[in-house]
Amino acid sequence: MAESAVYMPRPRLRRRGLLYELIDTIVLIVSIYALADLASVRFYVDGRSMQPNFYTGQRVIVSRVNYMLTEPERGEIIVFESPDRPGIDAPLIKRVIGLPGEHVEIIESQVFIDGQLLDEPYINDAIWRSSCRTDTEWDLNTGQYFVMGDNRNNSRDSRCFGPVEREHVIGEALVRYWPPQDIGLIYKLHYPEDPFE
């Protein structure tokens, strides 16, 4: 004769109170926001220096994490503290042109890196002038970057204040999030590795 199965009641889940659940959710949201805030910065584009690729009023998300793991590369858009007035002026947004150890030279509105012409499909004006110093050559030391605005006729950049030190770099611009019609990833120009060696 078969034995009848013994019924074992399932343990009941202990339900937490609504207040506990609400506090738990708020703590989770605040934690996620704090981590996102530490890893990124929101930046407001102000001025014409990066036209035609960025315009006044656009807002971008800048990643602090990228440059904790790697170094800035040529063609990337970075946000950094103004080297000549750090902590006084608002941060600037420019494109990385020259890397540490390179020789940057400007000849007749063209940029040469270690004697070779740099291909720059992101600028509109073939002829441009600078209201900055008359320097036309820069040797970059370890941890120095040469940056320029895409709108060469209206940009205060390394032609004015010289190379940007690595410690002044805040991060890489990754995403436009305002205005709605401009939402999207920021186009990243990839140069071949060591094109000037």
Strand 144-148 and strand 77-80: the pairing is unpaired
| Helix H or strand E segment including 31 | helix 18-39
49 catalytic residue (yes or no)? yes
Alpha-carbon distances of 41 from 46, 76, 111, 170, 178, rounded to whole Å: 16, 16, 30, 9, 14
In single-letter form, the type of residue at position 39 comes to A
Active-site annotation holder among 4, 40, 82, 94:
94
- Residue found under tokens 């080297």: 83
188 catalytic residue (yes or no)? no
Give yes or no for a contact between 118 and 103, defined as CB atoms under 8 angstroms apart: no
Q: What are phi and psi of 182, to 5 degrees?
A: -105, 5
Active-site annotation holder among 4, 31, 40, 49:
49
Which residues are tagged catalytic?
49, 94
